[in-house]
A = this chain, B = another copy of it.
Amino acid sequence: MRTLYHFALHPASRQARITLAEKKLKVTESPINPWQLDQGDWKKFEDITPEGVPPTLVDVIPSGEIIITGARAICEYANDGSTRHPLLAEDIVERAEARRLADWFDHKFAQEVDALILHEKVEKSIAGAGAADPAILREGRETLAHHLGYFCWLLERRDWLAGRYFSLADIAAAAHISCLDFLGEINWRDWPTLKEWYQKVKSRPSMRPLLMDRIPGFRAPRHYTDLDF
């Protein structure tokens, strides 16, 4: 029995969900909103999550219960567990490229895009910290366009983001892009190469639960769930 604590509009949480689904690992999803916990629930969550943010995976294995936190550790753990449905290529160069890109999303993209757009539109809204600042959103959108350009440049040269195979890099990208798409932040007409990639990604069964997410206070654009957008 596995339980994954996650927050729906959170790229790190989404990476864990997609990865567990790609590996066909059964898991009970337990939504948790770290910005809205009462003190009792916060204490319980913090006890198992020293980072203070999801995702947190609780897995029961023969030697007992284990707790793994953070997207990178959970994704590598899920992939390590079996050689079926591999999410890293056998070729060590393509593996390295997948890890470089996953890390690029979790650091550079997260700091320069998520920390502006998701923070302004999601975290501030949930925390009741006022309206989104248009200047910060503008800055985030400019960097997003720059990064999507790089993303397309890679995809014009490869089958998938890191090379020949679908990998943890595509999962990291899908997690970040799908959150921004939920908020209507991707203008698909401007990015045909990216759109083609995202159509392939969206039609994978692992993405289905994310496309069904309903988040109180937010409404996704109609194309968000549409496979042929």
Q: A residues touching B (Cβ–Cβ < 8 Å)?
A: 50-51, 61, 63, 66, 68-70, 72-74, 76-77, 80-81, 92-93, 95-97, 99-100, 103-104, 106-108, 150
Given A68-B96, A76-B95, A96-B77, A50-B150 contact (CB < 8 Å) = yes
Considering the complex, give the chain B residue whose CB is closest to the CB of A106. Answer: B107
Chain A interface main SS type: helix
Q: Is the CB of A76 within 8 A of B50?
A: no
Closest 8 pairs (CB-CB, A-B): A73-B100, A77-B96, A73-B99, A72-B103, A68-B96, A70-B103, A80-B92, A73-B96
From B66, B73, B93, give the contact of A103 (CB < 8 A).
B73
Q: Is the CB of B68 within 8 A of A108?
A: no
Considering the complex, give the chain B residue whose CB is closest to the CB of A95. Answer: B80
Which of chain B's residues have a CB closer than 8 A to the CB of A69?
100
Q: Is the CB of A50 within 8 A of B104?
A: yes
Which of chain B's residues have a CB closer than 8 A to the CB of A68?
96-97, 100
Instruction: Give the complex CA separation of A106 and B107 in angstroms.
Output: 9
Q: Is the CB of B77 within 8 A of A92?
A: yes
From B63, B96, B107, B150, give the contact of A76 (CB < 8 A).
B96
Instruction: Give the complex CA separation of A51 and B110 in angstroms.
Output: 13
Q: Is the CB of B93 within 8 A of A61?
A: yes
Q: Is the CB of A99 within 8 A of B72?
A: yes
Extra pairs beyond A51-B104, A70-B99, A76-B96 (19, CB < 8 Å) = A50-B150, A51-B107, A68-B96, A68-B97, A68-B100, A69-B100, A70-B100, A70-B103, A70-B104, A72-B72, A72-B103, A73-B96, A73-B99, A76-B95, A76-B99, A77-B92, A77-B96, A80-B92, A81-B92
